[in-house]
Structure 1
């Protein structure tokens, strides 16, 4: 019989080969999970009668004004003659469809849903302005009959409020309640049970019911579609920012594990995970509206200085986002995470060996998690500054002045 003795070098090579195979397979699996998440399509149909403000509503959700490049075309007459798709500027897999106005000569109510291809949309938002129309009820009933969700949005509420302010004994809350109740009653008369009605101004999303619409959409979607919807919605409430943060945190382990696995492969350079981390952190900043383009757009929308909004960003990576600052933050995370390494090694032994250039799974996880926390806080600070009333700011400036002369 031949000599069955295996040398130490042979064992080392065998161990290395097995580990590389395991790492390669694991990295493929994690990459598949991330790819599935990042390629999930969400198709939202915006429909209603001509003149309801569909295009302006689409632009507002996408963070654009009607004059911006790539904005949906608006006009006083019906400008949409066939379904037009608009990608979200930050999330191309989220598509908003501007559907032709129902009841026009080319799109009669009884054939409307078939003509616009209703089956490809995840849900419908029906926009109506001014008085409730019979076509709105027919459309809502037809969508419900086809087992699709719809949400009825009464648009241009700011115009209604402005018109009612001329009346004696004007009460804004009473006006809003009357409009909402009228829409619900009209839909119920058309045979639509328990309709969801929201009052919205596309020029003032932070007012009225838009936050309720956001919460409802998020609550009624599941899985990956819920995640991409969350990331696409504008940051108009602290609660929405927190929901985005928690949704992103549920996927941190995939990003951290992939970066760690890739670095352990001999076919990749040690610092291959650096661009992956930069890309991930950059996407977080965009999700929270902290990149320059988002801040400039918000500043224009609320008529405030971009510099004043940027001053609300206090996190280190929020103020200085560069490869050098990311590496520094990663080194700090590695130092702070050493106490957790033994715990990880006990539960997932392979991860204990996946250390490349001093960068471990634990360090990457801590960096991404802490960055999400600080970016979310920055976003809340920007939100409060952006929508703080001018009167409050003047009062704050007045009381912050030196009033020491009172004690002279």
Structure 2
């Protein structure tokens, strides 16, 4: 997958630049976008089992789970359907009808019908080979400078790696014949997104999206692998840096996000988001256990941090107070380098929040890594 540290450092540099330029509203908006994971993804293609399973897998859901996409769907096949994530309501997956197969095709008409350009990324899905009209829509999107459109070959239940490679090679030939330069097709098995090409697809999406949207997507996806857990951890540390900067560094300038030098409610909100994002809550663990055939009690027992079980304001305040007492152990030079210019007059608040929340994020990510390792067999 993408270099998680590089992605989070890039995000932090962007936030720091906005802070240095006194664009506090930009930083606040970025923090809010990350906290709610505001992102819209669209899935184009026939509404078969594979497409519905793919939509559910992106939300970490299985058949029958609350909020899951039904197969066959109960919506008009020619209309849009939207599936908000039960845990991250602002992360929406849009089920788009297939591109019409009639000829001649009018790519712009289809794109207008499904509001193609409003989505942050679009998956052009198929199970055998891409239809020429779908390729025409892809080429039209590229002509409009939309790079975040991806051909995705969804594996059927009976597909083997060899049969998928055969389909990929055939499909690449079709794309080349239709005029796609340097075509790329991602093989995805909806029942096991950690396998085949989905990690590479996610890496490419994160590279192509703006930094805030890329990190928002990472925080909303289920914890598929230990690598993704690490990416989430580093994204949260960039989020903590921004929140600490606002809370501890610029109290002389009104910022709606916070009301005091160190506001525990901000910490509670960040850590609750981390707990949900890392799939540490009981519902997420029980779903993961069902999907992977593991005893949920086994997974729950791997949560050693109190924050993995519950985040409370009292617990966050206690951590902030402990961090303030321990500030002497933090290098003042390191703190000065990390802090935005305006924050350096109030470094104590900034450092306490940074230290307390980063330590909490590390604990929770460690628990998530253990759970994922057992659930998908990485420990073997």
Measured in 2, the distance between the counterparts of 1:142 and 1:367 equals: 49
| Cα distance, 1:269–1:92 mapped onto 2, change above 3 Å | closer
Shift of 1:32: 5.5
Shift of 1:277: 1.6
- Aligned pairs for 1:2-401 within 5 A: 30=24, 33-39=27-33, 41-51=38-48, 53-75=50-72, 79-103=76-100, 110=107, 111-149=109-147, 150-161=149-160, 172=161, 174-260=162-248, 273-319=263-309, 321-340=311-330, 343=333, 360-388=349-377
TM-score, length-normalised on structure 2? 0.79
Shift of 1:142: 2.9
Higher Rg of the two aligned structures: 1
SS at the partner of 1:69? coil
Shift of 1:125: 0.5
| Cα distance, 1:334–1:341 mapped onto 2, change above 3 Å | farther
| Cα distance, 1:233–1:378 mapped onto 2, change above 3 Å | same
Kindly tell me the number of residue pairs found equivalent between the two proteins. 349
Measured in 1, the distance between the counterparts of 2:40 and 2:224 equals: 22
What is aligned with 2:6?
A: none
| Cα distance, 1:276–1:123 mapped onto 2, change above 3 Å | closer
SS at the partner of 1:154? strand
| Cα distance, 1:353–1:75 mapped onto 2, change above 3 Å | closer
1:114-136 Cα shifts (integer Å, max 9, x gaps):
32122222232111013443333
Measured in 2, the distance between the counterparts of 1:74 and 1:251 equals: 37
Q: Which runs of 5+ in 2 are unaligned?
A: 1-19
Measured in 1, the distance between the counterparts of 2:251 and 2:299 equals: 38
Shift of 1:366: 0.2
Q: Is the 8 A contact 1:31 1:258 kept in 2?
A: no
| Cα distance, 1:66–1:370 mapped onto 2, change above 3 Å | same
TM-score, length-normalised on structure 1? 0.74
Shift of 1:353: 5.6
Measured in 2, the distance between the counterparts of 1:224 and 1:35 equals: 10
Q: Is the 8 A contact 2:31 2:242 kept in 1?
A: no
Give the aligned CA root-mean-square deviation in angstroms: 3.5
Q: Is the 8 A contact 1:295 1:306 kept in 2?
A: yes
Measured in 2, the distance between the counterparts of 1:389 and 1:79 equals: 41
Measured in 1, the distance between the counterparts of 2:357 and 2:71 equals: 40
| Cα distance, 1:45–1:350 mapped onto 2, change above 3 Å | closer
Which structure would you say has the larger RCO, counting Cα contacts within 8 Å and 6 or more residues apart? Answer: 2
Shift of 1:271: 9.6
